[in-house]
A and B are shown apart, each in its own frame.
Chain A
Amino acid sequence: MINNEIAKMITDMGFICDNNGIYTNGASGYWSNLSVKENQKFLEILSDAPPEEAVRKVIPQFFDMIYSSKREAALEFLDHSKPGICIDYGCMWGVLSFGMAKRGHSVIAVDQTYESLCFLQKRSLNENEKKIIPVQTDIRKFELSGVADFAIVNGVLEWIPVNENVNVGDYYSKSKAMNVKEEEPMFMQKEFLKNVFESLKSGGKLMLAIENRFSYEYFLGKKDPHANILFTTFLPRRISDIISRYRKNRPYRNYVYSFSALKKMVSESGYKNVYLYSAFPNYHFPELILDYSEEGIKAYKKYPNKRRITHKQKIAYYIEFFLMQIFKVKNLSPAIILIAEK
C-alpha cells in the first residue's frame, strides 16, 4: 500500500515507469565501476541468468560489494522499530537499499545509472523484494519534500561536485580538460545536503558515509581513492587542484572532509543531533564502527581483515593499531559515518 503511494508521488513528479519497472524522467548520467561496454555485457547475461549467477560470471570481483550484508553494518545505527520510508541516494547496485528493505522499510532507490538500476530491479524480482522502487535521475535534482524517515548517502557526497559521466576505471586515468565553469564543490555538496534535508520528515535521519580527509593512510602514501593522486585529500584544496590539473588534466573536485568539517557542513545544512563515528578499516566493509569520542576510541581493538594481504597493508594496519590503541588519535581514522536528524 505504502509503495503504491510512493509510486504515485514519483509519477506526479513527472517520472514514468518503463518496461523494466524503473521510474525515469529521461535524465542522462553515468557513474559505475564498469564501463558502458562491460555493463552491456553484464545486462545481456542478466537477461538469461539469475542476478547472483550473472554477477559471479561477469563481475565476480564486485560480488561482495553487491551482495555482502556485512556492508549494512552502519544501518544498525538507525532505529528500525517501525517501518518507514527511506531514500537511498546514489544507490548503485543497491546493497543498502536491500539492507533497509530487509529491515522493513520502503526504499526509493535513486541513481543516475540506468544499468545499475536494471540489476537492482532484477534482483528485487528474483528475491521477491517488493519494497524497493528504483528511480533513475540525477540525485542532485531529485526533490521531495518531507516524505522520508531515512536518507542514505553512502559514498556519494564526494562525487556530487563531479558533473561528467564516470567510469571509475577511466576516471582514474587522465581525462580531457574541462573548460566548463563549474560551481564550487563545497557549495554543491551543501546544496545537495540541503536537498536531502528537505526530503526528510521532521525527526527523519540521515546516514552519511565518507572517507576521512585526514586518514592516517593518506599520510602513509595511500592515493586519494577518488582522484587517484597522492596527498590530495589532506593538502590545501588549492594545491590539490594544481596537482590534479597537472597530473590528471582536470580540476580537483572530489572533496572529502575531516570529522569536524563534515559535522560543521551537515549542521549548516540544517541538521541537528549530529553524531560521528569512526569506521575501520573503511566504511564499505567495516569491522569496527566506534563512537567518535574519547570514550569511543577506547573500544578500538585488533580486528580481522581478509583484505589485508600485502606487506604494505599489514604495516599500515600495525601503524593504525599503534595510533588508535596507544595514542587514541581518532581524528586520523580511515572513514567517517555520520548520523544526523532533521
Chain B
Amino acid sequence: MKSLIKNFQHDSCICVINEYVNGKVYSIRKSSSTLSGIINLRREKEGIDWYNSQKNSDKIQIIEFQIFEKYGYLKFMCTKGYYPLKSYSYKKNFEVIELCLEHYMQVWGPIIEKFPLLSLYPFHGDLSLSGNILIKGVDLLIVDWEHYCFNGAPIGTDLVYLMLEALYFEYEESGKISGDSMRHVNKMILEMLKKKILSPFFCKGYVFKSLLQFIRNNKLIWGNQYNKFIFLTGDSAITKSFITILDFV
C-alpha cells in the first residue's frame, strides 16, 4: 500500500510517498522532476550520510538513491519507534529542547573538537519541532535533511533557529511569550556558550536578530522554500509584533 502524503509542500518541489507494510509505514520515498527538487534530494542524501557517520550508526537507513538527468528519488527505511511531537510551542517543549542541545553536542561535537576554529559548520537548515525531530523517550532523531550544507552556518545556528521557531509557535498560539520560556531561552544560550556550541557570530548583538540576518543573507540555502519562514516573510500583525519582541531577547 502506498500513499502520497506531501506534494511540493512549502514549494519544496519534492513529493513524499509512504509505503506501508501491515498497515505501518515501512519506507519513505522522496522524488522530484525539477532541478531544485533534485538538488535538495542530493543534499538530503549528503546530510543523512553525514548524520549517520557522526552517530556511528545508520540511524536513517537509505534503501535507494538515484539521480537521472531530469528526475531523482531517495528511498529510506522508516525508523521505527520514533514519533513526531504533538505540540510545537516553546513552553510545552522545554525537555525536548534540552534533549536537542544534548543531541547536537553528540552529533556536532566531534567536528567541533577536531576543527574548533572553523567559521562555518555542517548545517541541517530546518531543525524544527514541527516534524523534523522524532522522539523516543530520551532519544531523538533528526530527519528531513534537504537543506543540508556541509559548510553551511556558524555553529549553533540550527539550535538558535529551533528556539526561535518554537517561540514563534508559542506566540502565535497564545499571543505572548511566557516568562518561563524567556528564562529557558536564557538558560539554553548560556549552556550553548559553556559547551562552545554557539558561534561568536551570535554574541555580537541580539542572538535572534543575528539569526534573522543570517537567514536573510543566505536565502539561497532555502531556495523556493525561503517563504516558509513566516516570521520573516509574513506580513500579519502577529509576525510583525513577534519581530519587535525579538529586540528584547
Residues of chain A having any CB pair with chain B under 8 Å: 69-70, 72-73, 76-77, 80, 99, 101-104, 277, 285-291, 293, 295-296, 299, 301, 304
Contacts and interface: CB of A to CB of B under 8 A. Distances in A.
Nearest to A127: B70
B3 A288 contact: yes
B3 A76 contact: no
B89 to A, nearest CB: 17
Given A70-B7, A103-B33, A291 B1 contact: yes
B226 to A, nearest CB: 16
Contacts of A296: 1, 3
A290 B3 contact: yes
Interface stretch (B11-19, B138-146, B150-158, B209-217): B11-19
Given A73-B4, A289-B3, A102 B70 contact: yes
* Most central of A69, A103, A301 by chain B CB within 10 Å: A69
Contacts of A290: 3-4
A101 B32 CA distance: 13
Interface in B1-34: 1-10, 13, 15, 17-18, 20, 23, 29, 31-34
Contact of B71 (A73, A104, A286, A295): A104
Given A73-B7, A301-B5, A80 B17 contact: no
A149 B1 CA distance: 22
Interface pairs A-B: 6 shortest CB-CB = A289-B4, A102-B70, A102-B33, A70-B8, A290-B3, A291-B1
A296 B1 CA distance: 8
B20 A288 contact: no
Contacts of B3: 277, 288-291, 296, 299
A70 B10 CA distance: 12
Nearest to B18: A299
Given A69-B33, A76-B15, 15 more contacts: A69-B8, A69-B37, A70-B8, A72-B33, A76-B17, A76-B31, A99-B33, A102-B70, A103-B70, A287-B7, A290-B4, A299-B5, A299-B18, A301-B5, A304-B10
Contacts of B5: 288, 299, 301
* Most central of B9, B20, B33, B68 by chain A CB within 10 Å: B33
Contacts of A287: 6-7
Given A70-B7, A102-B71, A77 B1 contact: no
9 contacts: A69-B34, A73-B4, A73-B7, A77-B17, A102-B70, A103-B70, A287-B7, A291-B3, A296-B1
A73 B18 CA distance: 13
A299 to B, nearest CB: 5
B7 A80 contact: no
Contacts of A299: 3, 5, 18
Interface string B76-93: 000000000000000000
Contacts of B18: 299
A106 to B, nearest CB: 14
B128 to A, nearest CB: 16
A178 B40 CA distance: 53
A80 to B, nearest CB: 7
Contacts of B29: 76
* Most central of B5, B7, B15, B37 by chain A CB within 10 Å: B7
B228 to A, nearest CB: 10
B68 to A, nearest CB: 6
A286 B3 CA distance: 12
Nearest to A75: B33
B27 to A, nearest CB: 14
B15 A73 contact: yes
Contacts of A104: 68, 71
A15 to B, nearest CB: 27
B187 to A, nearest CB: 33
A277 B23 CA distance: 16
Contacts of A285: 7
A242 to B, nearest CB: 39
A287 B33 CA distance: 16
B7 A286 contact: yes
A80 B37 CA distance: 18
B7 to A, nearest CB: 5
